[in-house]
């Protein structure tokens, strides 16, 4: 556990030293979502209808944006060897890296999204649903993205390959995340959607660390 906390704290400290990396991700999220109301025009009914899908897609792209550096920087400076040689499970190390990624991208995205939802004319329950689904859904994106990052480590054009690998796997999360907000807009309860999102996150939590560790060991050879 000492190692897990140490790695998480180290990654957060590294982000703190270079806040620009996170700022770029959040700025991308804001710019990408704001383009839709500008492009479609002020038809509030239409905007409110597409809001859920647009915000969820933009959050997905934004969280992928910083993932290609997740393991690559450790791979390039030799720190990955130290993680591989640490006398505690590599699965926990992979999990710590994903947790750090979620704290600096998924969490701010979930906090930021309701403010952007206002620009789409979402009502208050809709904004609440948006924040809640992103909060529960983004850990899955960090975990699946982490797996794709580990698998593409050392490959050429790893950024594009990463997106191709991760995006299809994120489709269930996207469907239920956006679906929850539409359900809410129709005045129904969205707890079923939220429970499915949580289930997806738990499945990812229970499976991806092992796959990531295997991929990282392969990359270390």
Partner 1 sequence: MAPPFLEVTDLACRRGGRRVFDHLSFALDAGALLALTGRNGSGKTTLLRALALLVRPDAGTIRWRGADSRADPETWRGQLAWLGHLEGLKGDLSVRENLLVAERLRGAPAEDRLDAALAAFDLADLAVRPVRTLSTGQRRRVALARVVLTQAPLWLLDEPLNALDALAQAAFRQVLHNHLAAGGLAIAATHADLGLPAARVLELG
Any contact of residue 13 with partner 1 (CB under 8 A)?
yes
Q: Number of residues in contact with partner 1, rule: CB under 8 A?
A: 25
Nearest distance, CB of residue 13 and partner 1, angstroms: 7
Q: Which is nearer to partner 1, 42 or 78 (CB)?
A: 78
Q: Residue 10 Cβ, how far from partner 1 at the closest point, in Å?
A: 5
Contact 96, 11 (CB under 8 A): yes
Q: Is 220 in the site for partner 1 (CB under 8 A)?
A: yes
Q: Is 69 in the site for partner 1 (CB under 8 A)?
A: no
- 142 and 207 Cβ atoms separated by less than 8 Å: no
Q: How far is the CB of 218 from partner 1 (least distance, A)?
A: 10
Stretch that binds partner 1, among 26-34, 79-87, 101-109, 143-151 (CB under 8 A): 79-87
**Contact letters (x/-) for partner 1, 81-110, by CB under 8 A?**
xxxxxxxxx---------------------
| E runs forming strands in 37-154 | none
Token reading at 201: 């996150």
22 part of the interface to partner 1, by CB under 8 A? no
For residues 218 and 153, what is the distance between their CA atoms, to the nearest angstrom? 9
Compute the distance between CA of residue 36 and CA of residue 174 in angstroms, rounded to an integer: 18
Q: Name the E strands within 69-220.
A: none
Q: How long, in residues, is the chain?
A: 221
> How far apart are CB 14 and partner 1 at their closest, in Å?
6
Class of residue 49 by CB neighbours under 10 A (exposed 0-12, middle 13-18, buried 19+): middle
Q: Give the range of 39-47, 75-83, 101-109, 175-183 binding partner 1 by CB under 8 A.
A: 75-83
Three-state secondary-structure class, residue 127: helix
Q: Is 153 in the site for partner 1 (CB under 8 A)?
A: no
**Site stretch for partner 1 (CB under 8 A), options 39-47, 77-85, 128-136, 162-170:** 77-85
Residue carrying the six token digits 């969205």: 190
Q: How many CA atoms lie within 13 A of 114 on its CB side?
A: 16
Q: Which of 14, 111, 171, 195 binds partner 1 (CB under 8 A)?
A: 14
Q: Write the secondary structure of 192-218 as one string of H (helix), E (strand) and C (coil).
A: HHHHHHHHHHHHHHHHHHHHHHHHHHH
> Between residues 56 and 68, which has the closer beta carbon with respect to partner 1?
68
- Chain residues that interact with partner 1, rule: CB under 8 A: 2-3, 5-7, 10, 13-14, 17-18, 76-79, 81-89, 220-221
């Amino acid at each position: 556990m000492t190692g897990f906390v140490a790695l998480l704290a180290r990654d957060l400290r590294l982000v703190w030293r270079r806040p620009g990396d996170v700022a770029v991700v959040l700025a991308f999220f804001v710019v990408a979502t704001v383009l839709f109301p500008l492009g479609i025009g002020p038809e509030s009914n239409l905007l409110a209808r597409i809001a859920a899908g647009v915000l969820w897609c933009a959050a997905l792209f934004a969280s992928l944006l910083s993932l290609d550096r997740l393991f690559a920087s450790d791979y390039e400076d030799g720190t990955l060897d130290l993680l591989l040689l640490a006398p505690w499970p590599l699965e926990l190390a992979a999990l710590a890296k994903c947790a750090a990624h979620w704290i600096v991208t998924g969490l701010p995205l979930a906090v930021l999204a309701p403010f952007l939802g206002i620009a789409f004319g979402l009502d208050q329950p809709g904004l609440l649903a948006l924040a809640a689904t992103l909060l529960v859904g983004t850990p899955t994106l960090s975990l699946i993205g982490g797996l794709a990052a580990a698998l593409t480590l050392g490959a050429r054009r790893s950024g594009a390959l990463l997106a191709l690998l991760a995006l299809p796997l994120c489709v269930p999360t996207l469907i239920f995340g956006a679906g929850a907000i539409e359900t809410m807009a129709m005045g129904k309860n969205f707890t079923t959607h939220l429970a499915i999102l949580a289930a997806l996150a738990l499945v990812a939590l229970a499976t991806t660390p092992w796959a990531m560790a295997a991929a990282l060991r392969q990359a270390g050879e």
